[in-house]
Amino acid sequence: MPTSIRNAVLTALSVLPAVRSAAHIPVRGGDTAAPVLRSQQDTCNQLKQALTGANATISKTRTTACIVSPKNTQEVSTVVKILSQTQTKFAIRSGGHNYIPGFASVNESGVLVSLSNLNTTVLSTDKKSAKIGPGNRWLAVYQALVPQGVTVVGGRVGPVGVGGLMLGGGLSYFATQRGLALDNVKSYEVVLANGSIVTATATNQYSDLYKGLRGGGSNFGIVTNYELYTYPVGQFSVDARAYSTNQTDAFLRAVAEYQQEGQLDPLSSIQLLATGPTIMLLYNEAVQSAKAFDAFYNLGSYTPIAAFNGSLLDIMALTGSRFSTGNISTYGETFTHKVDADLNIDLYNIFVEEIANLPTGASGVWVPNPIAASVATVGKQYGGNLLGLQEVPQQWYEWFITWTDSTQEQTIRDISQRITQRCTAATEAKDADLPYLFTNTAGIKQNVLSSFGADNVNTIKAIAAKYDPGQVFQKLQNDGFLIRKL
Ligand SMILES: Cc1cc2nc3c(=O)[nH]c(=O)nc-3n(C[C@H](O)[C@H](O)[C@H](O)COP(=O)(O)OP(=O)(O)OC[C@H]3O[C@@H](n4cnc5c(N)ncnc54)[C@H](O)[C@@H]3O)c2cc1C
Residue 53's domain is classified under what CATH number?
3.30.43.10
- Could you identify the atom of ligand 1 that is nearest to the CA of residue 480? 49
288 three-state secondary structure = coil
Q: What is the mean pLDDT of residues 254-277?
A: 94
Bridge-based pairing state of the strands 129-132 and 369-371:
unpaired
Paired strand residues for 58: 68
Specify the CATH number for the domain of residue 351: 3.30.70
222 pLDDT exceeds 50?
A: yes
Q: Residue 472 — very low, low, confident or very high, per pLDDT cuts 50/70/90?
A: very high
Q: Residues of the chain with pLDDT > 90: what percent?
A: 83
Q: Residue 65 — very low, low, confident or very high, per pLDDT cuts 50/70/90?
A: confident
Task: Please count the structural domains in the chain.
Answer: 2
Q: Identify the weakest region by mean pLDDT among 202-211, 323-332, 339-348, 389-398.
A: 323-332
Residue 384, C-beta contacts closer than 8 angstroms, at least 6 positions apart: 211, 214
370 three-state secondary structure = strand
Q: What is the mean pLDDT of residues 193-216?
A: 98
231 domain-assigned: no
Q: Which domain holds residue 79?
A: 22-114
Q: Is residue 158 lining ligand 1, measured as CB closer than 6 Å?
A: no
Q: What is the mean pLDDT of residues 151-167?
A: 97
3 pLDDT exceeds 70?
A: no
Q: What is the mean pLDDT of residues 3-25?
A: 39
Q: Which of 71, 90, 114 is the last residue before a domain boundary?
A: 114
14 domain-assigned: no
110 domain-assigned: yes
Burial of 249 (0-12, 13-18, 19+ CB in 10 A): middle
Q: Is residue 118 lining ligand 1, measured as CB closer than 6 Å?
A: no
Q: Which of 114, 147, 167 is the last residue before a domain boundary?
A: 114
- Could you identify the atom of ligand 1 that is nearest to the CA of residue 115? 41
Q: Is residue 134 lining ligand 1, measured as CB closer than 6 Å?
A: yes
Q: Is residue 115 lining ligand 1, measured as CB closer than 6 Å?
A: yes
Q: Is residue 276 lining ligand 1, measured as CB closer than 6 Å?
A: no
pLDDT digits (tens, 9 = 90+) for 315-332: 999 888 655 666 788 999
CA of 440 to the centre of ligand 1 (A): 6
85 domain-assigned: yes
85 pLDDT exceeds 60?
A: yes
The CA-atom distances, in angstroms, between 8 and each of 2, 14, 20, 237, 278 are 10, 10, 23, 17, 16
411 domain-assigned: yes
Q: What is the mean pLDDT of residues 184-198?
A: 98
CA of 181 to the centre of ligand 1 (A): 12
For residue 59, the model assigns a pLDDT of: 67
C-beta atoms surrounding 207 within 10 Å: 13
Paired strand residues for 232: 150
For residue 118, the model assigns a pLDDT of: 97
335 domain-assigned: yes
For residue 147, the model assigns a pLDDT of: 98
CA of 164 to the centre of ligand 1 (A): 3
Q: What is the mean pLDDT of residues 122-140?
A: 98
| Contact present, 151 and 230 (Cβ < 8 Å) | yes
Q: Is residue 20 lining ligand 1, measured as CB closer than 6 Å?
A: yes
The pLDDT mean for the chain works out to 90
26 domain-assigned: yes
35 domain-assigned: yes
pLDDT digits (tens, 9 = 90+) for 17-40: 333 333 233 222 223 344 456 688
Q: What is the pTM of this model?
A: 0.92
Q: Which of 74, 89, 114 is the last residue before a domain boundary?
A: 114
Q: Is residue 316 lining ligand 1, measured as CB closer than 6 Å?
A: no
Q: Is residue 163 lining ligand 1, measured as CB closer than 6 Å?
A: yes
Distance CA 239, CA 248 (A): 18
